[in-house]
Amino acid sequence: MTPPNLPLLNSARESIDCAAAANGGECVLVGAGPGDPELLTLKAVKAIARATVLLVDDLVNQAVLDYASPTARIVHVGKRGGCKSTPQAFIERLMIQEAQAGEVVVRLKGGDPAIFGRLGEELEHVHAAGVRVSVVNGISSGVMAATALACPLTHRDHAHGVLLLTGHAAPGQQELDWAQIAQLAHAQRLTLVIYMGVKGAAGIQAGLLQGLPQHTPVALVQSATLPTQRRIMTDLSGLVETIAAEQVQSPAIILVGDVLKASLVLQQYGDGHDTTHHYRSAEPIWRNQAIG
């Protein structure tokens, strides 16, 4: 991808040396969005262009690095759920060390760093070290998963709120009480957006079935916004079966709730107008449908 010739890129790069020298370096925690580089914010582009050091998560689309200065040092640190990656403590030490040496450090993360991106830990440690730190938010993959289905997350008729949840507890921490969450979602008409839930889907499904009807609509969106994006519809009773049958892999978002009935993709299917996607099964409508 060839970066656009934006004036802000040139002005940002010209300010690198004087900003680092005057302020003793800094850390900027930047959300790179769900994958499509065109979904970067202008503020993220400017931060990447200013960086002298970039610490890049595995889920960040490498195309966004085209915005970086040719002289910037790029360090890939992994951080894909369930996979080997650089220890978090080492990343934090490196951020602090480079900033204290006068570098403009950009910590580049997939999605929005404020949503399951360990933003709190990094802010705390960098600030405690006396290093100037700021945050540039990105578009979360959970939001874009719904958009991929032409579906809102809230709807006057279907959903009065949203719960953003992780399906992956940290080592030594207790898993979420999915039964209690289901009861709350059912009573208050909430949409569930579950990050990192594929591996633990069996436990999630079992818990949610204790408080939600078995035919509650469910969608799985893998690699949202990328050319490899996949969208699969099922219902709550078919969640685990569908993940296995369709070989769903991370990164994937699980959406649960009646708001999915508002999906234009599914409405097109129901009207017989959608001829661009394959549906693996059509009975009932919410079971095992691979949309593409």
User: Residue 259 contacts by C-beta under 8 Å, 6 or more apart in sequence?
Assistant: 151, 152, 153, 154, 155, 158, 159, 191
CA 236, 117, 168 angle in degrees (round to 5)?
40
Which residue type does 286 have?
A: W
Catalytic residue among 46, 79, 112, 258: 79
Mean pLDDT for 266-282 is 44
Average pLDDT, the chain: 87
pLDDT value of position 285: 42
Same domain, 107 and 147: no
The band of 221, judged by pLDDT with boundaries at 50, 70 and 90, is very high
Same domain, 72 and 113: yes
Same domain, 123 and 212: no
262 located within any domain: yes
Mean pLDDT for 171-177 is 87
> What is this structure's pTM?
0.85
Which residue type does 141 have?
A: S
pLDDT of residue 277 exceeding 80: no
pLDDT value of position 9: 56
Tokens standing for 160?
A: 């009065």
Mean pLDDT for 278-284 is 35
In the residue annotation, 57 being an active-site residue is answered as yes
Cα separation, 221 vs 144, whole angstroms: 9
Number of domains present in the structure of the chain:
2
Last residue of a domain, one of 136, 159, 175: 136
User: Residue 58 contacts by C-beta under 8 Å, 6 or more apart in sequence?
Assistant: 76, 77, 78, 79, 80, 83, 85, 110
Same domain, 132 and 145: no
What are 4-29's pLDDT values in tens digits? Answer: 555 555 555 544 444 444 457 999 99
pLDDT of residue 287 exceeding 90: no
Same domain, 125 and 195: no
Q: How far is CA 131 from CA 28, 92, 173, in A?
A: 10, 12, 30
In the residue annotation, 274 being an active-site residue is answered as no
Which residue type does 253 have?
A: I
Same domain, 176 and 209: yes
pLDDT of residue 83 exceeding 60: no
Check which CATH number belongs to the domain holding 83 and give it. 3.40.1010.10
What are 45-61's pLDDT values in tens digits? Answer: 999 999 999 999 999 99
State the Cα torsion 102-134-132-9 to the nearest 10°.
30
Which residue type does 154 have?
A: T
Q: Are 193 and 164 in contact (CB under 8 A)?
A: yes
pLDDT value of position 170: 79
Q: Which domain holds residue 35?
A: 24-136
Same domain, 35 and 113: yes
Same domain, 84 and 156: no
71 located within any domain: yes
Edge-to-edge strands of the sheet including 53-57?
A: 73-78, 53-57, 104-109, 26-31, 133-136
Cα separation, 83 vs 58, whole angstroms: 10
Q: Are 153 and 159 in contact (CB under 8 A)?
A: yes
Last residue of a domain, one of 85, 119, 136: 136
In the residue annotation, 46 being an active-site residue is answered as no
Catalytic residue among 46, 57, 233, 258: 57
pLDDT value of position 21: 42
Backbone angles phi, psi at 90, to 5 degrees: -65, -40
Catalytic residue among 95, 144, 196, 233: 196
Check which CATH number belongs to the domain holding 249 and give it. 3.30.950.10
pLDDT value of position 283: 35
Same domain, 65 and 176: no
Mean pLDDT for 167-182 is 91
User: Residue 228 contacts by C-beta under 8 Å, 6 or more apart in sequence?
Assistant: 222
pLDDT of residue 275 exceeding 70: no
| CB atoms near residue 202 (< 10 Å) | 12
pLDDT value of position 5: 57
